[in-house]
Structure 1
Amino acid sequence: MAKHRAIPPGFMTVGEVAKKIGVTVRTLQYYDKEGLLSPSAESEGGRRLYTDKDLVTLHQITSLKSLGFSLDDIKQRLISLETPTDVANALTEQADSIREKIEQLTASLAAIEQLKEEVLQMQTVNFKKYADIIVNLQMKNDSYYLIKRFDDDTLDHIRNRFDKESGLNFVDRFNRLSDEIVQFQKENVPPESEKCQQVVKEYWGLIMEFTNGDMSMLPKLMEIGNIDTATNAWEERQKIVNEYLEPALQVYFSKLGVNPFEEVQG
């Protein structure tokens, strides 16, 4: 570090740098201590001096910090500023980080707006249910709004039965089978056909997996799944699935020689 008797042109004190960038002197001292940004020079009186290049580096640090990066991450991301290409690369990396942050914030904003709509539709204060909806929004589970149709017992069952990974896996399989059933309906595949009955068998297997074999849950699931008027794309699809599945399940149960729904209702 060069030493100067006075403050020469092109150099700034720590106070001047702090004021220009909008940080505290203590922050600059901390960055120096952590090896993020050391002053380029020092006066003979012990005043720490910075250059315009240091200002650009400090801008890198504060920008990355505002995006949520830790100081250790920032150390790895700081780019040398020796050439115009170096500066361009630093700005490119900052721009990429900002775009990524914008995408995250946009997704968060959409989730909040969706949750707000759900809260208004539910008409009751239920923070446990709000928390479940938030988790599902973060998982990008398009069926998240079904949660508001579940009662507390069913929600407790889901929490105990599935974690994030197994829950997503279950939803993926459920959606895949539902899409197949919708396609069968479009193609007028007979409910009694072999390929339809194979899908029905898988679908019923999912129901048993969800309930863990607890037949007492079936009436509740029937009530939850009953959709008179579809209000969104998922409900529209499920309405088609339900209408196609009803006769297909009757065929499936007749081959088994038992109808679990009738037994539970009886």
Structure 2
Amino acid sequence: MKVKEVAELAGISVRTLHHYDAIGLLAPSQKTAAGYRLYSDEDLGKLQQILFFKELGFSLKKIKEIIHSPSFDKCEALQLQKKCLLEERERLDKMIGLIEKTIKHEQGEIEMSNKEKFAGFDFRQNPYEQEARRRWGDEAIDQSNAKLAEISEEERKQMGEEMNEIYRKLAHLKDGSPESKEAQAAIAEWFTFLNRSAGSYSLEAFRGLGEMYVADARFTKNIDQFGDGLAKFMRDAMAVYADQNK
């Protein structure tokens, strides 16, 4: 299958497949004399594994280490992935049950104690932080938290205004090309802002963050408040920036 066909089949972008090839994560088995990538059934099996691991929050670097390891066992990996997804389904089922119970309470059908109202919630860990730790490791997140702990409330407010201004600037550009000079200048501001205010971001981490803007509905919803499609535009612009500044 050609790259465009694989992208449509898997629901990912052609740019993503090109990136996987460039970093040695998934190289197509063949290339035509004209340079077209051709993916075999075995390649598609590897891509499925990559997407399973990505869905579970593994970084591309970690996925590459896993699937290229001589000891990698596909069936064993599928069992692990199934176990993780079942645990997530169990958590979601508990939350759905709590919502249904709360609806009955609000309608006067049952009584709920205050303790019952919050059974299942656990915000001792920030879900965004957990995701980031899985993707980029503890050190970068600890640096970010340390920086944020040192700034005053007024500085936090200024940072928020600066961040929103960058979002608005990018929103004005979102209907154009993410490769344009204007888009890359604006996304460079975003890269600089993140490194100044939230820790040290490598180019790969920056790219990964852009991917999460689209993969994680929470991010997409927040970013797209500035304009529909902004999250996708930022993802693409961040990928271009990472490629051009290697």
Whether these two folds match at TM > 0.5 is no
TM-score normalized by structure 1? 0.36
Q: Over alpha carbons, which structure has the higher Rg?
A: 1
TM-score normalized by structure 2? 0.38
Greater relative CO (CA pairs within 8 A, separation 6+): 2
